[in-house]
Amino acid sequence: MEEQDRWIETLEGEIKEWGIKCINCNFCYTACPLFKSMEGFLINGPSGLLQSIYYALHWDFLGKEVKEEIINILYSCTTCTSCVIRCKDVSAGIPVVDLVECGRKILVEKALGPGTAHKEVLGFLDQSGNPYGKPAEKRLDWLKELEKENKLTYKLLPDDDQAETLLYIGCTASYEEDLQNVARSIVLLLEKLKADYGILKKENCCGSPARQLGEEGLFMELSEKTYEAALKSGVKQVVTVSPHCYNSFKTEYPESFQKLEVQHYTEYFFNQIEKGALTPSKKIEKAITFHDPCYLGKRNEIYDAPRAIISKIPGVKLVEMKDNKVDSLCCGGGGGRMYVEVDEVTRLSHLRLEQALATGTEIIATACPWCYTQMKDAIKATDQEDRIEVKDISELLLMSVS
Amino acid sequence: MSTDKREHEIVSFLGGIVGPEYVTTSRFEKIKQSLDAYPYHADMNNLPIAVVLPKTSQDISEILKYANKEKIPVYVRGSGTQLIGASRPDRPGIVIFTSRMKTFDIKEDWGYFEAGAGIRNQEAKDLLAERGYFLPLVIGAKHIASFGGATSNNTSAHLIDTGIGKPGDYILAVEAVLPTGEIIETGTHGLGKPAGTDMTKFFVGGDGILGVVTKTRMRLVPMIQYSYGIACFSELAPIARGVKRMYLEQVPVPIFTEFLDHNVATIGYTNKGMEAPPGHVIFFVSYDREKEQADKKMNLLIDVFKKEDPIYADPVTDMDQWKKVWTARESTIPFLMTSLEGRLLVCEVVGNLAQFEEMMEEAADFNKGVPYLEDLTNYLFGHIGALSFHPSFIIPPDLGDERMWELSRLLYKREAEFNAKYGTCGREWGQFSKRKDFFIMRYGQTSYDLMKRIKAAFDPNNILNPGVLEGYR
C-alpha cells in the first residue's frame, strides 16, 4: 500500500471511529452559528456534517453522485469550534471540526474537492505564497510606504540581522488595503516600545488556509518555509497579527517551534501595558463592543487580553454583546469561507452586526483581519456606516498612546 | 410510475406549498433525519423521500391532505431527541421538520404564552426568564428539544412530577393538525383547564400519533428561587428509605432529587476535577417563590435524610461547588461515554413508593441474568425523587449494528418486565415504539387494540408517524 493510501485510510478511520460515537443527540446544533443563521436543514449543522461524511464513507458513495453535495456540506463549516466546546460540555466529546478537516483532506487526496473557488485559492497559495494571488515581491510594500514617513528600526529576517521578536504579519494584513493599517499600527506600537523586532524578508502564508481547505501537502510546504525562516532568524518570540496564524503556530507547527514564545499581538501589548512599558493615555470617549475572533477565543481561550487593552484606554466604555467570549457568534469568515461568496441567509456577519448594534456602541473592536473584513462588509452591505464602525484593537491602542 | 417520477411529483407539490428552498431530497439530509439518539445506523433502503420545512399550520395541513390522498407516510420531527425511536422514520415518506415554526408570544394580560412547535426549550426558557417567568419543563436535551416534541411527549424529564407537575398540568390548549389535514384548537383561553372532556389530552402526551401539535398555550408561572443540598451514603437502602421518608413525612417535594451511584459519581466528579465522593450521592434542589422559603424546605429535606445515617447531608451555599457537582450530574452520559470510550445503552425504570427499597436494589442488579449485559457494569443514575432510575451500559464501539439491536431488544424487554412488575411506566420518553411490548404486558392486548382503534379514528390511512404504535424500530 502506498503512503497516500495509508494516509487516506487513517483519515477515514478517524471519521468512522468518531462517526459511530456521535449519538445524534443534536445538542451541537444550537451552538452552531451556521445552523443558527439558517434554522433549516440538519446538514447545515455539526452532527449533520459529521454524519454526511461518515455515511459517504460507510456506504461507499463518496465521489459518485454526491460529489458536489458533499463538497458543499463540508466546506460550509466555519470551523469556529462552538460545536466542539458544546459536545465536550454536554455530550460525547466529538472533535467535529477536526473531522470536518479530515473529510476535506480526503476529498483533496482523492482529487474530488474542493470547489472551484477554493481550488483557485490553493493555486494562489502555491504560486504566490498568499491566498489572494498577489505578487510575493509586493508583500512588504505597506512597510516601505510607512518607512517614508517614520523612522523604523525593524530588521529584515533572517538575512540582515537577528532580532528578539519576529512580527509575523500574515497575508491579509500584508495585502488588503484596510488591514494594512493594522500592520502599520502594530509596527508603530513596537517602535514606541523600542522593541528589538524583525519581519521576515520573504514572508509567505503560514499555511493555515491550505490546511483548512484540506491541502495538507501545501500546508507542510508553506509551514516549513516559515518554520525554517523563523528558526534561522534566532528570534525568541513570535508575535502574530492574525489569530489564524497564531493558532497554526501554536497547534499545527512542529513541537520544536513551540520553543519560541508565540503570542498574539493582544497578549503581547497587554503584557507591555501591565509592565508599564506602554501607557494608553489619550481619551477615546466612545462605547466599544468587542467581537471575539473564534481562533483567538474559542480555539485558544484568549478572552481577557483584548478586553483588558480596551478597558485600559481612558474614556472607553466596554459593552458586551449578547453572545460573547465562549458563546461568541462567529463572523463567518473562517474555514475557508472568506474566499467564497456566501448566500445572504448564511452571512453570519450580519447576525453579529445586529448583536453589535443592539449594544448601542459606536465601535466594533476586533483583533482578527478576517473578522475585521467580515464586519466591515456587513456594515457596508446593510448601510450602517452612520451608526457603527470597525476598529482593530491595535488601531485603538495606537490612537491612545500616540 | 417510476420512483424518480414519483419523488419528483412529491417534491414539486411540497415546494409549491412551502417554497422549493424548504424542500430537499439531499441524501445526507435524509440520512440525518432518519437517525435518532441511539447508536444505530440509518437504513439505506428506507430513507425518507423528502424533508420539508413548513412555516405554518396551514402548510402542514396541506401536506397532510396531500399525503392522505397519495397514501404517503409522514414523520414529524422537532429535534429527534426522543430516546425510544419514535422520531425515527422507518419507511420511505415525507419528513416534516418543524424548525421554522418559531412563533413565541407571551400574553401577560391573558396569563399565558403560546409557543410554536419549533421553539427550542432553552429559547422559551430564556424568553420567559427575561419577563420574570419560569418554564416548568426541564428536558435533558434542553438546548435543542422542540416545544412541539415536548408537548407531544408530555415529558417531565428530570423534574419531579410530584412536586412541579408535568407540562400537561400547565398546558391550557393546543393547536393541532389532524392526520387528515384539518386544523383544530382545543382547550381554553382562560386559566382554568376544562372539566370533563378536554381534547387537549389527545395531543399532550399523545406520542405524536393522533395529530401534529403546531402551537402550545401554556400558563405563565412566576419565577422561582432555589436552594441546594447534597447527601452521600455508603449503601443504597438508606437512600431509598430517605426518599420514602420524604413522601411519608410530608416534606415539601423538591424540584430535583438526582441520584448517582458511586461509579457514576466518581467518573463525574473526577471529570470536573473534584475528589471522588466516598459513596453514592444525591443532589437536591428545593424551590419556592422566596429564597428564604426554599432554604427552609431544603433544611427539612436534609433533616429527613440525616435520619438514615448518611456519610454527610448538607445544604450547599458555595455556588462554584454546586455548579461543578451539578455539571457532574448533567454530563453523566458524556462523561461515561468519553471516560469509558463506548456507546451508550440506557433505559428507564420506575418504582412505586411502597416497594421502593426493593425496587432500588433490583435496579442496581438490573442486568443480572440478562445475556451479555450481565457481563457489563450497570452505571446507575436517575431522578430518584421521582422514583426513577436509568440503568446504563457502555458498549464497545466496534460492536456491530445487529448486535446492538439485539442488546437494545434485551434491554427494553428487561425494562418492560421491570416496570410491569412494579406497576409503573416510563415517565420521560413516551410509551410506544420500542416500548410497545411493555404497553401490552402492562395494560393488556385489549388496551393496545383500543389504542389502534383510536389511531384509526384519527388517522384512517395510518399516514402520521406510522410505526410508532406498531412497535420496535
pLDDT tens digit string along A119-174?
999 999 999 999 999 999 999 999 999 999 999 999 999 877 789 999 999 999 99
Cβ neighbours of residue B406 closer than 8 Å, sequence gap 6 or more? none
User: For residue B324, is it within any domain?
Assistant: yes
How confident is the model at residue B39, as a pLDDT? 64
Domain that includes residue B298, residue range:
225-332
Q: CATH no. for residue B351?
A: 3.30.70.2740
Can you give the residue ranges of every domain in chain A? 3-113, 135-272, 280-401
Helices (H), B284-372: 291-306, 319-330, 332-340, 356-364
Q: What is the mean pLDDT of residues B158-184?
A: 95
Top pLDDT among B1 and A186 is at: A186
pLDDT tens digit string along B356-381?
999 999 999 999 999 999 999 999 99
How confident is the model at residue B336, as a pLDDT? 85
The pLDDT-based confidence of A3 (bands split at 50, 70, 90) is confident
User: Are B144 and A26 in contact (CB < 8 Å)?
Assistant: yes
Beta strands B50-52 and B23-24, pairing class: antiparallel
How confident is the model at residue A352, as a pLDDT? 96
Q: Is it true that A3-113 and A280-401 share their CATH fold?
A: no
- Among B332, B351, B382, residue at a domain's last position: B332
Choose among A48, A52, A89: nearest Cβ to B331.
Answer: A89
User: Are A26 and B37 in contact (CB < 8 Å)?
Assistant: yes
Instruction: Let me know: does B147 contact B160? Beta carbons within 8 Å.
Output: no
This prediction's pTM = 0.94
Q: CATH no. for residue B116?
A: 3.30.465.10
H or E, element range at A240: strand A237-240
The two most distant CA atoms of chain A are separated, in Å, by 66
Which chain B residue has the Cα nearest residue A345? B21
pLDDT tens digit string along B36-81?
887 678 888 999 999 999 999 999 999 999 999 999 999 999 999 8
Q: CATH no. for residue B274?
A: 3.30.70.3450
Q: What is the mean pLDDT of residues B431-438?
A: 93
Tell me which chain A residues have a C-beta less than 8 angstroms from the C-beta of B42. 55
**Number of domains making up chain B:** 4
Is cis: bond before A114, omega within 30 of 0? yes
CA dihedral A19, A23, A26, A32 (to 10 degrees): -40
pLDDT tens digit string along B244-284?
999 999 999 999 999 999 999 999 999 888 999 999 999 99
How confident is the model at residue A7, as a pLDDT? 92
Top pLDDT among B394 and B239 is at: B239
Mean pLDDT, chain B, integer:
94
Count other C-beta atoms under 10 Å from residue B13's C-beta: 19
What residues of B are in the A interface, CB distance below 8 Å? 22, 24, 26-29, 31-33, 35-39, 41-42, 44, 51, 53, 79-81, 97, 99-100, 102, 118, 120, 122, 141, 143-144, 327, 330-331, 333-334, 337-338, 343-344, 397
Closest CA to B372 of B352, B395, B349: B395
Q: CATH no. for residue B22?
A: 3.30.43.10
CA dist B42 and B30 (Å) reads 9
Whether residue B325 sits in one domain with residue B275: yes
- Which residue, among B11, B18, B23, B27, would best test binding to A if mutated, counting the most A CBs under 10 Å from its CB? B27
User: For residue B208, is it within any domain?
Assistant: yes
What residues of A are in the B interface, CB distance below 8 Å? 17, 20-21, 23-27, 29-31, 39-43, 47-48, 51-52, 55-56, 58-59, 61, 66, 69-70, 73, 86-93
pLDDT tens digit string along A34-89?
998 886 899 999 999 999 999 999 998 887 678 899 999 999 999 999 999 999 88
CA dist B472 and B410 (Å) reads 12
A79-91 in b/e form (b: 16+ CB < 10 A) is bbbbbbbbbbbbb
CA dist B281 and B264 (Å) reads 9
Nearest CA to CA, how far is B246 from chain A (Å)? 31
User: For residue B469, is it within any domain?
Assistant: no
Choose among B22, B141, B337: nearest Cβ to A27.
Answer: B141
User: For residue B63, is it within any domain?
Assistant: yes
Residue A361 in this model has a pLDDT that exceeds 90? yes
Whether residue B317 sits in one domain with residue B345: no
Nearest CA to CA, how far is B84 from chain A (Å)? 13
Instruction: Let me know: does A366 contact A392? Beta carbons within 8 Å.
Output: yes
User: Are A24 and B36 in contact (CB < 8 Å)?
Assistant: yes
Whether residue B177 sits in one domain with residue B247: no
The pLDDT-based confidence of B1 (bands split at 50, 70, 90) is low
Nearest CA to CA, how far is A63 from chain B (Å)? 14
Q: What is the mean pLDDT of residues B411-431?
A: 95
pLDDT tens digit string along A319-357?
999 999 999 999 999 999 988 887 766 689 999 999 999
Q: What is the ipTM of this complex?
A: 0.93
User: Are A21 and B27 in contact (CB < 8 Å)?
Assistant: no
User: For residue B438, is it within any domain?
Assistant: no
Q: Which three cell numbers stand for residue A276?
A: 508599564
Give me the CATH topology for the region A135-272: Rossmann fold (3.40.50)
Tell me which chain B residues have a C-beta less than 8 angstroms from the C-beta of A41. 24, 26, 29, 51, 53, 97
Instruction: Let me know: does B375 contact B392? Beta carbons within 8 Å.
Output: no
Choose among B36, B144, B327: nearest Cβ to A27.
Answer: B144
pLDDT tens digit string along A275-305?
999 999 999 999 999 999 999 999 999 999 9
Distance spanning both ends of chain A, measured CA to CA? 62
- Among B312, B332, B352, residue at a domain's last position: B332
Tell me which chain A residues have a C-beta less than 8 angstroms from the C-beta of B327. 89
How confident is the model at residue B100, as a pLDDT? 95
Give me the CATH topology for the region A3-113: Fumarate Reductase Iron-sulfur Protein; Chain B, domain 2 (1.10.1060)
Tell me which chain B residues have a C-beta less than 8 angstroms from the C-beta of A47. 32
Burial (CB count <10 Å: 0-12, 13-18, 19+), residue B109:
exposed
* Cα A287 to Cα A319, B15, B129, distances in angstroms: 7, 47, 27
How confident is the model at residue A344, as a pLDDT? 64
Mean pLDDT, chain A, integer:
94
Instruction: Let me know: does A198 contact A156? Beta carbons within 8 Å.
Output: yes
CA dist A208 and A220 (Å) reads 10
Whether residue B122 sits in one domain with residue B215: yes
How confident is the model at residue A345, as a pLDDT? 61
Tell me which chain A residues have a C-beta less than 8 angstroms from the C-beta of B79. 26, 29
Nearest CA to CA, how far is B308 from chain A (Å)? 33
Which chain A residue has the Cα nearest residue B399? A20
Domain A280-401 has CATH 3.40.50: yes
pLDDT tens digit string along A230-247?
999 999 999 999 999 999
Nearest CA to CA, how far is B26 from chain A (Å)? 8
Instruction: Let me know: does B92 contact B249? Beta carbons within 8 Å.
Output: no
Q: What is the mean pLDDT of residues B422-435?
A: 93
H or E, element range at B349: strand B349-350
Choose among A30, A73, A92: nearest Cβ to B337.
Answer: A92
Choose among B39, B118, B122: nearest Cβ to A30.
Answer: B122
